[in-house]
């Protein structure tokens, strides 16, 4: 006679293959199974590491060298990680040495300034910044846009791109930054666009593309959206809440098979 298992599985178990969310974990008595508990502990540790692990700037710079852009290494006004986490305002501006270094560049101006900041996930930057820019740059260059120096910023937040873009006399700044890690996404990259960057820009004046990573919004999709938004920003001379992301409509228009699927699904939708 066999002893029945004490682990009670969830009938939603099959759904787990479609999401990284913690669903259908099962139970042992009134508790989680040991495997689920250990996986949660691992995910929590990975999220903490993503926040606190210093970004290896020399290694990142070496991965970016093949792009052929001048590389500037900068630092925010937050002297160290603890101060960065306690004082978000300091992460939004450059320290005096970095500001002076940029001013000494005596920039002649550019169309697009690219900024890479560690943000809240150095893991995201280490994994995704180089491959994303490798896919993006040829499209920007084919469009005839002048690309400024590539700025690498330690202890930086999104708004630091405004000061950098202004000092480089850029018409638009794109900030690649590590997003706040979740328990299923410690390596999520965020992309922020700001037209005519200058200190004091509000978040409503930016566009954001979030969750860029192979398990989320993959590189080809992210580059498609980013390139479309950049093109529209130069056409309309604005970013933010007045610039809606309609890039998916371009994909549908260029793919009749996708349009047929969408139209077919609409035909069977109940009226409301």
Q: Does some domain include residue 237?
A: yes
Residue 214 lies in a domain: yes
Mean pLDDT of 228-247: 96
Q: Is residue 51 part of a domain?
A: no
Specify the CATH number for the domain of residue 204: 3.40.50.11240
In the DSSP assignment, the letter for residue 89 is: G
Range of the domain at 168: 57-248
pLDDT in tens, 129-184: 999 999 999 999 999 999 999 999 999 999 999 999 999 999 999 999 999 988 87
Asked if the structure places residue 138 within a domain, the reply is yes
> Which range scores top for mean pLDDT: 102-106, 113-117, 212-216?
113-117
Could you tell me if 76 and 84 are in contact, meaning their C-beta atoms sit under 8 angstroms apart? yes
What whole-number distance in Å separates Cα of residue 266 and Cα of residue 244? 22
At residue 268, the pLDDT reads 35
pLDDT, tens digit, 9 for 90 and up, residues 28-67: 888 888 888 888 888 888 888 888 889 999 999 999 999 9
Chain-centre distance of CA 71, in angstroms? 20
Of 128, 127, 175, nearest in space to 148 by CA: 175
Position 219 pLDDT exceeds 50: yes
**What pLDDT band is residue 270 in, cutting at 50, 70 and 90?**
very low
Q: What's the CA gap between 118 and 219, in Å, rounded?
A: 19
What tokens appear for 164 in the block? 């950098």
From 3, 68, 7, 13, select the one nearest 33 (Cα to Cα): 7
Percent of the chain clearing pLDDT 90 (strictly above): 66
Q: How many domains does the chain have?
A: 1
Residue at 239 is within a domain: yes
Length of the chain: 272
Separation between Cα atoms, residue 208 and residue 5, nearest integer Å: 48
Higher pLDDT, 252 or 126: 126
In a domain, 3, yes or no: no
Higher pLDDT, 12 or 217: 217
pTM: 0.83
Band the pLDDT of 26: cuts 50, 70, 90. confident
Tell me what pLDDT residue 24 has.
76
Flag whether 91 is in a domain: yes
Q: Is the pLDDT of residue 211 over 70?
A: yes
Higher-confidence residue of 101 and 15: namely: 101
What pLDDT, on the 0 to 100 scale, is given for residue 167? 96
**Residue 127 maps to a domain:** yes
pLDDT tier at 261, thresholds 50, 70, 90: very low
CB of 164 within 8 A of CB of 157? Answer: no
Which pLDDT band holds residue 8 (cuts at 50, 70, 90)?
low
Give the mean pLDDT of the chain. 88
């Amino acid at each position: 006679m066999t002893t029945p298992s004490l682990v009670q599985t969830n009938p939603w178990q099959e759904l787990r293959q479609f999401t990284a969310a913690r669903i259908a974990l099962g139970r042992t008595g009134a508790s989680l199974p040991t495997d689920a508990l250990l996986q949660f502990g691992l995910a929590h540790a990975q999220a903490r590491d993503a926040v606190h692990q210093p970004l290896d700037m020399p290694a990142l710079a070496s991965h970016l060298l093949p792009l052929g852009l001048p590389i500037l290494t900068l630092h925010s006004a937050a002297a160290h990680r603890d101060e960065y986490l306690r004082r978000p305002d300091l992460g939004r501006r450059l320290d005096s040495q970095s500001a002076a270094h940029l001013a000494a560049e005596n920039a002649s101006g550019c169309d697009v300034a690219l900024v890479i900041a560690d943000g809240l996930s150095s893991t995201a930057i280490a994994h995704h910044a180089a491959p994303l820019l490798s896919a993006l740059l040829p499209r920007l260059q084919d469009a005839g846009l002048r690309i400024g120096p590539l700025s690498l910023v330690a202890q930086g937040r999104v708004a630091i791109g405004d000061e950098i873009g202004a000092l480089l006399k850029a018409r638009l700044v794109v900030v690649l930054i590590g997003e706040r890690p979740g328990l299923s996404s410690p390596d999520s990259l965020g992309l922020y666009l700001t037209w005519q960057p200058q200190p004091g820009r509000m978040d409503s004046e930016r566009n954001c593309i979030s969750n860029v990573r192979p398990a989320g919004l993959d590189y080809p999709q992210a580059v498609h959206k980013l390139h479309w938004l950049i093109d529209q920003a130069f056409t309309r001379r604005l970013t933010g809440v007045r610039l809606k992301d309609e890039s998916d409509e371009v994909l549908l228009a260029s793919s009749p098979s996708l349009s047929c699927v969408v139209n077919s699904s609409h035909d069977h939708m109940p009226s409301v």
